[in-house]
Structure 1
Amino acid sequence: MIMDKFGKKVSKYPKATIVTIVVITLIAMGSMQIFGIEQEFSEESFMPEMEIAKASDEISEKYITTSSVSILVKSKDNDVLTSNNLVEMLQIEKAIIDDSVIIPTLDTPEMPSVNVNSVADIVAQMALLQQNIAI
């Protein structure tokens, strides 16, 4: 019932409604410029103030066991994007994935192939995508 009356007034005075909305928006924007908005995007602001959460955070910081390693590949013919060099990169990836010493140190040791990526993977994915589009 209230919304019916409101809807009728909006229909009767559309220009006044638009002007009112614009004025309210400008006032809100002006107040944000003058007074500002306090924003905090740190992880700590979302963490609960619990002893367990603090302990978990401290353990993660001090005893982290995984890290990222970049392996740079240089080709003999100065072009890493040839098919032979891409295949060689995939063979290096396979050797890393099959290494029993490396597997336990990966983020997901149960799926080692997820942890190793190279230019060869991206090129292969794009080639497969183009084949699917062409079909």
Structure 2
Amino acid sequence: SASQANLTEYKLTTSVRTYLQVVDASKSDTSLDAWVTRTVESRSSRGKKAMGDDIHLLHIGRMIEEMEISIRQSLDSVYVAKQREVLHSCRLPEDPDEDDGVSGAAKAGAENVPNAAEAAAAAAASSPTKEQKN
């Protein structure tokens, strides 16, 4: 039909990979990665007169910008926070004689850590294990 002839469909699929690797010569290496894939579809009516290719570029550009904002927010709020939580939970307690670069105030105060998982990890990191006490 004539109405379908003026209708343009767009589909945008974006994938982003975040990768974190911690290399320490004295300990085992740690790596953590995540994939984020998003797909969005949009339809646009070109109206009665054809606008040329510029209207396609404008529409696609707007879709890309909106997708970028969505993925950045998702990475910040979900994936980066989850990576931080996993790394804190996997961190082994340090030797109390070793300077690990973390201040005593940061180790001692769980109130400085924003969520419960990080507070537990901070508390575990600041207290020696049974093996270290002996």
- TM-score band, normalised by shorter chain: under 0.3
Structure of higher CA gyration radius: 1
TM-score (norm 2): 0.23
Q: Which structure has more strand as a fraction of its residues?
A: 2
